[in-house]
Amino acid sequence: MPITKSAKKAIRQTKRRRVHNLLYINKIKNVVKDVRTFVLQKKMAEAKELLPKVYQILDKAAKVGIIKKNNADRRKSRITKMIDRASK
């Protein structure tokens, strides 16, 4: 248990930040999962419609510091490749 006042405040901040970060992480997971299911179901039009939303969410998460920029770029690249391969 924290003893000092600053340690107590740090715990409060950590809880608040965790909730905020989980919002972004869950958004990323849900949108990527949706794209993957569309690709598996061979619904390329729907998958391509979701692509800008995936880019937007990943870029925002990278900008805020939830994930690193290269991580966001790598995920965007892999999702785009997956859609391109499946549409051929």
Number of domains comprising the chain: 1
> In this predicted structure, what is the pLDDT of residue 87?
87
Q: What is the DSSP letter of 30?
A: H
User: Rounded distance, CA 34 to CA 8, Å?
Assistant: 39
pLDDT per residue rounded down to tens, the chain (88 residues): 889 999 999 999 999 999 999 999 999 999 999 999 999 999 999 999 999 999 999 999 999 999 999 999 999 999 999 999 998 8
- Gyration radius from the chain CA atoms: 17
Cα–Cα distance measured from residue 58 to residue 52, given in angstroms and rounded to the nearest whole number: 10
Give the domain CATH number at 22. 1.20.58.110
pLDDT at 62: 97
pTM, two decimal places: 0.87
What is the model's pLDDT at position 70?
98
Domain that residue 61 falls in: 5-87
**Residue that has been written with the tokens 């880019």 in this structure:** 55
Q: How many residues does the chain have?
A: 88
Residues 86, 42 contacting (CB under 8 angstroms): yes
| pLDDT at residue number 2 | 87
Closest C-alpha to 55, from 17, 20, 83, 18: 83
